[in-house]
Chain A
Amino acid sequence: MREALLIARREYVERIRSKAFRVSTLLIPIVFGLIFGIGAFSAKLTGGPKHLVLASNDPILAESVQAELLALRGEGSRREQASRLSVEVRAPVTGSELAALNAEVEGKRIDGYLWLDAKPGTTQPEATYTSSGSGDFFGKERIQYAIGHALVREELLKRGATSEGIAALLKDVDLKTLHLKNGEAVASDAGKSFWGAYVMTFMLYFAVVFYGVNVAHSVVSEKTSRVFEVLLASAKPESLMLGKLLGVGAVGLTQMGVWIVFILLLSASSLGMTLGPGGLAAYGVTPLQVIFFVLYFLLGFFFYSALSAGLGATVSQESEVQQFTMIIVLPQVIGLMLIVYILGNPGAWPVVLLSLFPPCTPIVMSLRMAAMSVPAWQLAVSLVLMVSSIYGMVWIASRIYRVGILMYGKRPTLPEMLRWLKYS
Chain B
Amino acid sequence: MAPLAELDRVSKRYEQKVAVHDLNLRIEAGTMFGLLGPNGAGKTSSIRMMVGITAPDSGTVSLFGRPFTRESLKRVGYLPEERGLYRKMKVMDQLLFMGQLHGLTTELAAKRSHAWCERLNILDAAQNKTEELSKGMQQKIQFIVALLHEPELIIMDEPFAGLDPVNATLLQDTLLDLKKTGRAIVFSTHRMDQAEKLCDEICLIHRGEAVLSGSMRAVKSRYERNRVIIDFEGDDKFLSHEAIAEYSEFPGHVEIRLKEHGDAQALLRGAQQQARIYRFELVEPSLEEIFIQTVGEKVDA
Give A residues with C-beta under 8 Å from B: 3, 6-7, 10, 14, 18, 222, 225-236, 402-403, 405-406, 423-424
Contact check, A230 vs B80: say whether CB atoms are below 8 A apart: yes
Contact check, B53 vs A229: say whether CB atoms are below 8 A apart: yes
Given contacts A230-B145, A405-B53, contact A236 B86 (CB under 8 A): no
Query: Closest B-chain residue to A402, C-beta based?
Result: B53
Contact check, A236 vs B70: say whether CB atoms are below 8 A apart: yes
Given contacts A225-B84, A226-B82, A234-B73, contact A406 B97 (CB under 8 A): no
Q: How far is the CB of B68 from chain A (nearest CB, A)?
A: 12
CB-defined contacts of A406 to chain B, threshold 8 Å: 14, 54
Query: Closest B-chain residue to A237, C-beta based?
Result: B53
**Could you tell me the distance between the alpha carbons of A10 and B89 in the complex, rounded to whole angstroms?**
10
CB of B198 within 8 Å of the partner chain: no
B contact residues, total (Cβ < 8 Å)? 27
CB-defined contacts of B88 to chain A, threshold 8 Å: 14, 18
Q: Mark B79-96, 1 if CB is under 8 A from A, else 0.
A: 010111111110000000
Query: Closest A-chain residue to B48, C-beta based?
Result: A405
Q: How far is the CB of B6 from chain A (nearest CB, A)?
A: 18
CB of B102 within 8 Å of the partner chain: yes
**Could you tell me the distance between the alpha carbons of A406 and B12 in the complex, rounded to whole angstroms?**
13
Query: Closest A-chain residue to B50, C-beta based?
Result: A233
Contact check, A233 vs B80: say whether CB atoms are below 8 A apart: yes
**Could you tell me the distance between the alpha carbons of A236 and B74 in the complex, rounded to whole angstroms?**
12
In B35-64, the 8 Å CB interface with A consists of 48, 51-55
Given contacts A232-B53, A233-B80, contact A225 B86 (CB under 8 A): yes
Query: Closest B-chain residue to A419, C-beta based?
Result: B15
CB of B160 within 8 Å of the partner chain: no
Q: How far is the CB of A403 from chain B (nearest CB, A)?
A: 8
Q: Which of B48, B85, B86, B101 contacts A234 (CB 8 A)?
A: B101
Contact check, B85 vs A227: say whether CB atoms are below 8 A apart: yes
Query: Closest A-chain residue to B55, C-beta based?
Result: A424
CB-defined contacts of A228 to chain B, threshold 8 Å: 84
Q: Which of A7, A229, A403 contacts B80 (CB 8 A)?
A: A229
Contact check, B73 vs A233: say whether CB atoms are below 8 A apart: yes
- Ranked nearest first, the 4 interchain pairs of A and B with the lowest CB-CB distance are A226-B84, A227-B84, A233-B78, A229-B80
Q: How far is the CB of B84 from chain A (nearest CB, A)?
A: 3
CB of B98 within 8 Å of the partner chain: yes
Contact check, B83 vs A226: say whether CB atoms are below 8 A apart: yes
**Could you tell me the distance between the alpha carbons of A406 and B78 in the complex, rounded to whole angstroms?**
17
Q: Which of B76, B83, B85 contacts A233 (CB 8 A)?
A: B76
**Could you tell me the distance between the alpha carbons of A230 and B149 in the complex, rounded to whole angstroms?**
14
**Chain B: interface secondary structure?**
loop
- CB<8 Å pairs between A and B, sample of 27: A7-B101, A10-B97, A14-B86, A14-B88, A14-B89, A18-B88, A222-B84, A225-B85, A225-B87, A226-B80, A226-B83, A227-B84, A227-B86, A228-B84, A230-B78, A230-B85, A230-B142, A230-B145, A231-B84, A233-B51, A233-B52, A233-B53, A233-B78, A234-B78, A405-B48, A423-B54, A424-B54
**Could you tell me the distance between the alpha carbons of A230 and B79 in the complex, rounded to whole angstroms?**
7
CB-defined contacts of A225 to chain B, threshold 8 Å: 84-87
Q: Which of A222, A232, A234, A423 contacts B102 (CB 8 A)?
A: A234
Q: How far is the CB of B245 from chain A (nearest CB, A)?
A: 47
CB-defined contacts of A230 to chain B, threshold 8 Å: 78, 80, 84-85, 98, 142, 145
Q: How far is the CB of B3 from chain A (nearest CB, A)?
A: 20
Q: How far is the CB of B128 from chain A (nearest CB, A)?
A: 15
**Could you tell me the distance between the alpha carbons of A406 and B80 in the complex, rounded to whole angstroms?**
13
**Could you tell me the distance between the alpha carbons of A6 and B100 in the complex, rounded to whole angstroms?**
8
Query: Closest B-chain residue to A236, C-beta based?
Result: B70
Contact check, A6 vs B97: say whether CB atoms are below 8 A apart: yes
CB-defined contacts of B14 to chain A, threshold 8 Å: 406
CB-defined contacts of A423 to chain B, threshold 8 Å: 54-55
CB-defined contacts of B51 to chain A, threshold 8 Å: 233
**Could you tell me the distance between the alpha carbons of A6 and B94 in the complex, rounded to whole angstroms?**
12
**Could you tell me the distance between the alpha carbons of A7 and B98 in the complex, rounded to whole angstroms?**
10
CB-defined contacts of B89 to chain A, threshold 8 Å: 14
Query: Closest B-chain residue to A231, C-beta based?
Result: B101
CB-defined contacts of B83 to chain A, threshold 8 Å: 226
CB-defined contacts of A14 to chain B, threshold 8 Å: 86, 88-89
Query: Closest A-chain residue to B52, C-beta based?
Result: A233
In B179-229, the 8 Å CB interface with A consists of none
CB-defined contacts of B102 to chain A, threshold 8 Å: 234
CB-defined contacts of B52 to chain A, threshold 8 Å: 233
**Could you tell me the distance between the alpha carbons of A228 and B53 in the complex, rounded to whole angstroms?**
10
Contact check, B101 vs A3: say whether CB atoms are below 8 A apart: yes
**Could you tell me the distance between the alpha carbons of A232 and B84 in the complex, rounded to whole angstroms?**
11
Q: How far is the CB of B300 from chain A (nearest CB, A)?
A: 32
Task: List 17 extra interface pairs beyond A228-B84, A233-B53, A236-B70, CB under 8 A.
Answer: A14-B86, A14-B88, A225-B84, A225-B85, A225-B86, A226-B80, A226-B83, A227-B84, A229-B53, A230-B145, A231-B84, A233-B51, A233-B80, A234-B73, A406-B14, A423-B54, A424-B55
**Could you tell me the distance between the alpha carbons of A424 and B56 in the complex, rounded to whole angstroms?**
8
CB-defined contacts of B55 to chain A, threshold 8 Å: 423-424
Contact check, A6 vs B101: say whether CB atoms are below 8 A apart: yes
Q: How far is the CB of A2 from chain B (nearest CB, A)?
A: 8
**Could you tell me the distance between the alpha carbons of A221 and B88 in the complex, rounded to whole angstroms?**
11
**Could you tell me the distance between the alpha carbons of A75 and B102 in the complex, rounded to whole angstroms?**
69
Q: How far is the CB of B22 from chain A (nearest CB, A)?
A: 20
Q: How far is the CB of B59 from chain A (nearest CB, A)?
A: 15
Contact check, A229 vs B76: say whether CB atoms are below 8 A apart: no
Query: Closest B-chain residue to A230, C-beta based?
Result: B84
CB-defined contacts of B100 to chain A, threshold 8 Å: 6
Q: How far is the CB of B227 from chain A (nearest CB, A)?
A: 42
**Could you tell me the distance between the alpha carbons of A6 and B101 in the complex, rounded to whole angstroms?**
7
CB-defined contacts of B70 to chain A, threshold 8 Å: 236
CB-defined contacts of B98 to chain A, threshold 8 Å: 230, 234
Q: How far is the CB of B44 from chain A (nearest CB, A)?
A: 10
Query: Closest B-chain residue to A406, C-beta based?
Result: B14
Contact check, A235 vs B101: say whether CB atoms are below 8 A apart: yes
